[in-house]
Chains A and B, each alone.
Chain A
Amino acid sequence: MAELDDIIHQALRLKIMAALNALPAGSGLEFSRLKKLTGATDGNLGAHIETLSKAGYVGVDKAFVGKKPQTTVTATAAGRGAFARHVATLQEIIAGAAGQH
């Protein structure tokens, strides 16, 4: 059986990856929108995005929209692959438990 991805499995990082993975490939979410969707605080969200970025699972793009800085987070191909494998493993765990009963 495949192993769970320790980086993705953490609750907030799982939410971040799930949210980004729900978008078409190449599309990202603004930091503020991601914060609202996940219910995280600025600091907490920033730290977990940093962890995902270091793992190569997300790309972070910082730009100015007018005079306001805007950070956009996008799932990379590697991140999408890792997330898909993680979800498949979760499903295997459930299927395995159901098979034992």
Chain B
Amino acid sequence: MTDIDAREAASALSDIESIVQRVRQSTIYKFASLMLILWGALIFAGNIACEFWPRQGGYIWIAVNILGCAGSLAVGTFESRRGRVRHFDLRVVAAIVLFFAFGILWSVGLGHFTPRQLGAFWPTYFMMFYTVVGLWVGFAFVAIGLGVTVLTVIGYFFSGDAFNLWMAVANGGGLILGGLWMRRS
């Protein structure tokens, strides 16, 4: 029989707590990485489509968002069945609805943003959300959020007529690379 003192017992419990935290973070990263890759691919395609059909931009982004939400739901259901996501929380849906409602209120309802401003607003708005969540969930979210935000701001001021192409690479490509990096973290 193993005999240990209180200090060793506390150390063992601390090891357990540490590994539990790492498993939780790893599980979140694995799930989030799939979402990032999915949204990154769609955003890449959306920006490329806007480059060729700029007048259809509104419809293109509605389609991107519908496909993204449907894909996210499919990934969530798949991961839930594999036991990686414990349960579907309605508060997450409410948070997403509030997030979009606030963004639409300002960008369309009150702000009357230009296409270029819209192209910079939504990515930076999304990335602010990532960055804030990352403060609790893990450094990778903060790095991806700040990285894409900085690239978006640079593109907004300096990419000229190539803004859509810049955003396809910086935002779409950034999310895909971020997702792949997160899978390895």
Residues of A at the B interface (CB closer than 8 Å) are 3-4, 6, 9, 11, 14-15, 18-19, 21-24, 26-27, 29, 33, 36-38, 87, 90-91, 93-94, 96-98
Contacts and interface: CB of A to CB of B under 8 A. Distances in A.
Contact of B13 (A3, A38, A87, A96): A87
Nearest to A95: B6
A93 B86 contact: no
B4 A4 contact: yes
Contacts, number: 69
Contact of A24 (B4, B10, B15, B86): B86
B13 A15 contact: no
Given A94-B10, A94-B13, 5 more contacts: A9-B12, A23-B27, A26-B83, A93-B9, A97-B9
Count class of interface residues, chain B: 20 to 34
B12 A23 contact: no
Interface string B70-103: 0000000000001110100000000000000000
Contacts of B5: 93, 97
B19 A27 contact: no
